[in-house]
Amino acid sequence: MRYLRFNILFLLIFPLLVFAEDGSQLWLRFPAKNGISADKIISKGSSPTLNIARKELGSHWQGQTVELRTENKEKNLKDGYRIVSTSEKIVISAGKEIGLLYGVYHILRLQQTKANLSHLNTIEKPSYDVRILNHWDNLDGSIERGYAGRSLWKWEDLPGKISPRYEEYARANASIGINSVVLNNVNASPNMLREDYLKKVKVLADIFRPYGIKVYLSVNFSSPKVLGGLQNSDPLNKDVQKWWKDKAAEIYRLIPDFGGFLVKANSEGQPGPQDYGRTHADGANMMADALKPYSGIVMWRAFVYSPSKDDRAKQAYMEFVPLDGKFRDNVIIQIKNGPVDFQPREAFNPLFGALRKTSEMVEFQITQEYLGFSNHLVFLAPLFKETLDSDTYSDGQGSTIAKITDGTLRPAKLTAISAVANIGEDTNWTGHHFAQANWYAFGRLAWNHQLNSEQIAEEWIKMTFTDDQNFLNPVKEIMLSSRETAVDYMMPLGLHHIFAGGHHYGPEPWGDYKGGRPDWSPVYYHQADAQGVGFNRTKTGSNAVSQYFPPLNERYGNISTCPENLILWFHHVPWDYTMKDGKSLWDELCYTYDSGVKKVRDYQKTWDRMEPYIDKQRFTDVQSKLKIQSKDAVWWKDACLLYFQTFSKKPIPYDIERPVHQLEDLKKIKLNMGHHN
Ligand code: BDP
Of 412, 433, 454, the position where a domain reaches its end is 433
> Whole-angstrom Cα distance, residue 469 to residue 247?
55
Residue 8 has pLDDT above 70, yes or no: no
Domain assignment present for 496: no
pLDDT of residue 327: 98
**Mean pLDDT across the stretch 84-90?**
93
Ligand 1 pocket, residue 145 CB under 6 Å = yes
Ligand 1 pocket, residue 144 CB under 6 Å = yes
Residue 432 has pLDDT above 90, yes or no: yes
Query: Using an 8 Å Cβ cutoff, are 127 and 149 in contact?
Result: no
Query: Using an 8 Å Cβ cutoff, are 471 and 465 in contact?
Result: yes
Query: Using an 8 Å Cβ cutoff, are 256 and 225 in contact?
Result: no
Q: Whose CA is nearest to atom 10 of ligand 1?
A: 341
Check which CATH number belongs to the domain holding 283 and give it.
Answer: 3.20.20.80
300-358 residue pLDDT tens: 999 998 876 789 999 999 999 999 999 999 999 999 999 999 999 999 999 999 999 99
Residue 499 CA to ligand 1 center (angstroms) comes to 14
> Whole-number mean pLDDT of the chain?
95
Question: Which ligand 1 atom sits closest to the C-alpha of 186?
Answer: 13
Assess whether 243 and 159 both reside in one domain: yes
> Whole-angstrom Cα distance, residue 198 to residue 187?
18
Assess whether 144 and 270 both reside in one domain: yes
234-266 residue pLDDT tens: 999 999 999 999 999 999 999 999 999 999 999
> Whole-angstrom Cα distance, residue 342 to residue 319?
19
pTM of the model: 0.96
Q: What confidence tier does 513 reach under pLDDT thresholds 50, 70, 90?
A: confident
pLDDT of residue 11: 52
Residue 483 has pLDDT above 80, yes or no: yes
> Whole-angstrom Cα distance, residue 172 to residue 101?
12
Q: Whose CA is nearest to atom 7 of ligand 1?
A: 677
| Ranges of H-type helices in 389-434 | 401-405
> Whole-angstrom Cα distance, residue 592 to residue 492?
7
Ligand 1 pocket, residue 319 CB under 6 Å = no
Q: Whose CA is nearest to atom 12 of ligand 1?
A: 341
**Mean pLDDT across the stretch 472-498?**
98
Query: Using an 8 Å Cβ cutoff, are 501 and 637 in contact?
Result: no
Residue 12 has pLDDT above 60, yes or no: no
When mean pLDDT is compared across 110-119, 126-135, 274-283, the lowest value belongs to: 110-119
Angle among Cα 626, 135, 389 to the nearest 5 degrees reads 70
Question: Which ligand 1 atom sits closest to the C-alpha of 145?
Answer: 8
Residue 136 CA to ligand 1 center (angstroms) comes to 9
Ligand 1 pocket, residue 303 CB under 6 Å = yes
Assess whether 119 and 136 both reside in one domain: no
Q: What confidence tier does 519 reach under pLDDT thresholds 50, 70, 90?
A: confident
Domain assignment present for 52: yes
Assess whether 218 and 254 both reside in one domain: yes
Of 124, 146, 181, the position where a domain reaches its end is 124
pLDDT of residue 5: 53
Ligand 1 pocket, residue 312 CB under 6 Å = no
Q: What confidence tier does 16 reach under pLDDT thresholds 50, 70, 90?
A: very low
> Whole-angstrom Cα distance, residue 275 to residue 7?
68
Domain assignment present for 480: no
Cis preceding-peptide flag for 159 (omega within 30 of 0): yes
Assess whether 104 and 140 both reside in one domain: no
Strand partners, 336: 363
User: Residue 264 sits in which domain range?
Assistant: 130-339+351-363+400-433
Q: Whose CA is nearest to atom 9 of ligand 1?
A: 187
Domain assignment present for 667: no
Residue 312 CA to ligand 1 center (angstroms) comes to 14
Assess whether 79 and 203 both reside in one domain: no
Cis preceding-peptide flag for 509 (omega within 30 of 0): no
Choice from 134, 136, 137, 145 to test ligand 1 binding pocket (greatest atom count within 8 A of CB): 145
Q: What confidence tier does 57 reach under pLDDT thresholds 50, 70, 90?
A: very high
pLDDT of residue 7: 55
Domain assignment present for 309: yes
Q: Is 182 left (phi over 0), alpha (psi -120 to 50) or beta?
A: beta
> Whole-angstrom Cα distance, residue 463 to residue 30?
8
Q: Which residues are catalytic?
A: 268, 341, 369
Residue 521 has pLDDT above 70, yes or no: yes
Ligand 1 pocket, residue 186 CB under 6 Å = yes
- 91 φ, ψ (degrees, to nearest 5): -110, 125
Assess whether 194 and 252 both reside in one domain: yes
Ligand 1 pocket, residue 363 CB under 6 Å = no
Ligand 1 pocket, residue 22 CB under 6 Å = no
Residue 301 CA to ligand 1 center (angstroms) comes to 11
Burial of 400 (C-beta count, 10 Å sphere; 0-12/13-18/19+): buried
Assess whether 147 and 80 both reside in one domain: no
134-188 residue pLDDT tens: 999 999 999 999 999 999 999 999 999 999 999 999 999 999 999 999 999 999 9
Assess whether 119 and 225 both reside in one domain: no
Choice from 301, 303, 340, 675 to test ligand 1 binding pocket (greatest atom count within 8 A of CB): 303
pLDDT of residue 35: 87
Assess whether 138 and 234 both reside in one domain: yes
Domain assignment present for 475: no
Q: What confidence tier does 34 reach under pLDDT thresholds 50, 70, 90?
A: confident
Of 63, 93, 124, the position where a domain reaches its end is 124
Query: Using an 8 Å Cβ cutoff, are 113 and 97 in contact?
Result: no
Assess whether 179 and 54 both reside in one domain: no
Cβ neighbors of 220 (< 8 A, separation 6 or more) are: 188, 189, 190, 192, 193, 226, 270, 271
Strand order in the sheet with 65-70: 41-43, 65-70, 89-94, 81-85, 121-124
Burial of 530 (C-beta count, 10 Å sphere; 0-12/13-18/19+): exposed
Check which CATH number belongs to the domain holding 92 and give it.
Answer: 3.30.379.10
In this structure, the dihedral spanned by the alpha carbons of residues 590, 592, 593 and 595, taken in order and rounded to 10 degrees, is 120
Ligand 1 pocket, residue 341 CB under 6 Å = yes
Ligand 1 pocket, residue 264 CB under 6 Å = yes
Q: Are strands 89-94 and 130-134 parallel, antiparallel or unpaired?
A: unpaired
Residue 676 CA to ligand 1 center (angstroms) comes to 10
Of 156, 128, 155, 145, the C-alpha closest to 185 is 145
Maximum Cα interatomic distance, the chain, rounded to a whole number of Å: 84
Assess whether 268 and 180 both reside in one domain: yes
**Mean pLDDT across the stretch 510-522?**
86
Residue 9 has pLDDT above 90, yes or no: no
Residue-wise burial string across 628-662, b where 16 or more C-beta atoms lie within 10 A, e elsewhere: ebbebbbbbbbbbbbbbbebbebebeeebeebeee
Residue-wise burial string across 289-309, b where 16 or more C-beta atoms lie within 10 A, e elsewhere: bbbbebebbbbbbbbbbbeee
Residue 308 CA to ligand 1 center (angstroms) comes to 19
Q: Give me the number of domains the chain comprises.
A: 2
Domain assignment present for 34: yes
For residue 434, the 8-state DSSP code is: G
Q: Is 182 helix (H, G, I), strand (E, B) or coil?
A: strand
> Whole-angstrom Cα distance, residue 192 to residue 424?
19
Query: Using an 8 Å Cβ cutoff, are 446 and 417 in contact?
Result: yes
Choice from 304, 369, 373 to test ligand 1 binding pocket (greatest atom count within 8 A of CB): 369
Domain assignment present for 375: no
pLDDT of residue 446: 99
Choice from 134, 138, 144, 304 to test ligand 1 binding pocket (greatest atom count within 8 A of CB): 144
Residue 181 CA to ligand 1 center (angstroms) comes to 18
Residue 497 CA to ligand 1 center (angstroms) comes to 13
Q: Whose CA is nearest to atom 11 of ligand 1?
A: 303
pLDDT of residue 389: 98
Residue 150 CA to ligand 1 center (angstroms) comes to 18
Cβ neighbors of 580 (< 8 A, separation 6 or more) are: 564
